[in-house]
Amino acid sequence: MAALIRRILRNLLATPLKKLDFIDVYRARSFFNNHPIIFGDPNRIKIGKGVHLYNSILNTNSGMIIIEDYATIKPNSMLITGTHDFSKKGMERRDAYPRNGRDIIIRKGAWIGPGAIILGKVTVGENAVVGAGSVVTKNVEAECVVAGNPARVINRLVSDGSEPTAS
């Protein structure tokens, strides 16, 4: 089995790069599913230019997901707009969710670490960083680093060339 996998990889990697665009090359060189899984209406997703979106879950049942230019969503992240009315029971609970109003906005240049969970209604600010495995339930300011469950500010980024300050 290992020899077969090595042979397949060798053949994939030998493919001339000029015949493939970047996305095709990236997918060909990986065993993983590198495109998002979408629950809900895909027309409720807006993606800017230069976005890196890896294998993630995007749930649009309760709102829009807007990912602005040059943002990065690392593998196994979840952007979930949906929620349910837990005061209900059985089938009524399953079907009782808002259809709008829980938008998630990822601003320009933001970085969402692997395995992070972003729960709507949330905006992740411009150039903000969400640490791996974090759970974001509130807005993240621009140029901040957040981490943890729930996510909290652990650092502020600076753009004047000086050192960042820990919070």
- The answer to whether residue 23 is domain-embedded is no
Full residue range of the structural domain in which residue 155 is found: 34-166
pTM, to two decimals: 0.74
Q: Would you say residue 107 has pLDDT above 80?
A: yes
Cis peptide before 121 (omega within 30 of 0): yes
Is 24 a member of any domain? Answer: no
Q: What is the mean pLDDT of the chain?
A: 81
Task: Classify residue 12: in a domain, yes or no.
Answer: no
Does residue 26 lie in a domain region? no
Residues ≥6 apart with Cβ < 8 Å to 122: 104, 105, 136, 137, 138, 139, 140
How far does CA 104 lie from the centroid of its chain?
Answer: 10
**How many folded domains does the chain comprise?**
1
146 in any annotated domain: yes
Q: What is the pLDDT of residues 142-159, one digit of tens each?
A: 999 999 999 999 999 876
Judge whether residue 62 has pLDDT over 60: yes
Type of residue found at 7? R
Flag whether 65 is in a domain.
yes
| pLDDT for 32 beyond 60 | no
Residue 43: which CATH number? 2.160.10.10
Q: Which residues are catalytic?
A: 84
Question: pLDDT tens digits, residue range 8-17?
Answer: 656 555 544 4
27 in any annotated domain: no
Query: Are 129 and 148 spatial neighbours (Cβ–Cβ below 8 Å)?
Result: no
Q: Specify if 25 maps to a domain.
A: no
